[in-house]
Amino acid sequence: MNNAPPESSSEFARLLDIMRRLRGPDGCPWDREQTHRSLRPYLLEETYEVLDSLDREAHGELKKELGDLLLHIVFHCQLASEEKLFTIEDVLRGINEKLIRRHPHVFGDAKVDGPRQVERQWEQIKLNEPHRPRLLEGVPPHQPALNRAFRVQEKAAGVGFDWPDVAPVWLKVREELAELEAEVAKGDGAGIEHEFGDLLFSMVNLARKLGTNPEDALRQSVEKFIARFGYIEERLMSQGKSLHDSSLEEMDALWEESKREL
């Protein structure tokens, strides 16, 4: 009988050993000077690189980027261990126990009827856990605003605070657009910002009801704009022109051309 540990376990143990070596007295000077705070921008950058590889379905890059992201998790755990805060074993134990506790329909006797009921059950279990923040306080404030709005609405919907279908959401979007137009007509800068925010929030809700993530949708639109605008630049350069000495009509014609060509 083969009692050898799975390859994933041995490779994970190897990663932990490498990180301890890098942070050790004879380790890497750069790694040794890092702190939780100094690593924050790198952690965020690696997360966005994972998202980028997912968007492009670049599976080879995804494998590499997931490794980079895992490195940061291990790095923070090593720092916490040195500070006697917690260990990687504490982190693993915590997530294992959480997954089991919040999936009673898999690891217990609970019954669910589809993914939406699983989401409601998940949020209810969270609310009943000790030392839990209020429902919406659990949404990290530093993530992009569109995604944060989506998660806030998703969590509220998880406990039943939601319209039953998309029809009232369309009405709310139109209502917020009319209120924004009224503030624009008055020329009230503060009012415009307030109502524009309300319009964006209602549009996020519409995206959620339509089954679309607004952050992903906007990211795709930005990339599409960049590609089309790049087409305009290249076509103008091929004609010996630049953006600065071209008219809006010329650029708009090339924009329409890019929509056909790209």
Kindly report, residue by residue over 62-108, the tens digit of the pLDDT.
999 999 999 999 999 999 999 999 999 999 999 999 999 999 999 99
Arithmetic mean of pLDDT, 214-225: 92
Q: Is the pLDDT of residue 227 over 80?
A: yes
| pLDDT of amino acid 3 | 59
| Integer angstrom CA distances of residue 126 from 49, 72, 104, 149 | 30, 27, 13, 20
Q: Is the pLDDT of residue 1 over 50?
A: no
Determine the Cα–Cα distance for residues 108 and 86; give it in Å rounded to an integer: 29
Q: What is the CA radius of gyration of the chain?
A: 25
Other Cβ atoms within 10 Å of 261 Cβ, number:
10
Average confidence score pLDDT of the chain: 92
Question: Which range (32-36, 55-59, 81-85) has the least confidence?
Answer: 55-59
| pLDDT of amino acid 2 | 56
Contact 91, 77 (CB under 8 A): yes
Q: Where are the alpha helices (DSSP H) in the chain?
A: 7-23, 29-33, 40-55, 59-82, 88-101, 104-107, 115-128, 145-158, 167-186, 189-209, 214-238, 248-261
Q: 41: which 2 tokens?
A: 């921008």
pLDDT bin (cut points 50, 70, 90) of residue 5 is: low
How does DSSP classify residue 135? G
Arithmetic mean of pLDDT, 201-212: 96
| pLDDT of amino acid 142 | 83
For the chain, what's the residue count? Answer: 262
Looking at per-residue confidence, does 140 or 206 come out higher? 206
Contact 34, 70 (CB under 8 A): no
Instruction: Name the most confidently modeled range: 39-48, 68-77, 130-139.
Output: 68-77
Q: Is the pLDDT of residue 174 over 70?
A: yes
Question: Which range (33-42, 105-114, 139-148, 250-259) has the least confidence?
Answer: 139-148
Contact 177, 114 (CB under 8 A): no
pLDDT bin (cut points 50, 70, 90) of residue 128 is: confident
Arithmetic mean of pLDDT, 133-154: 86
Percent of the chain at pLDDT > 70 equals 97
Arithmetic mean of pLDDT, 180-197: 95
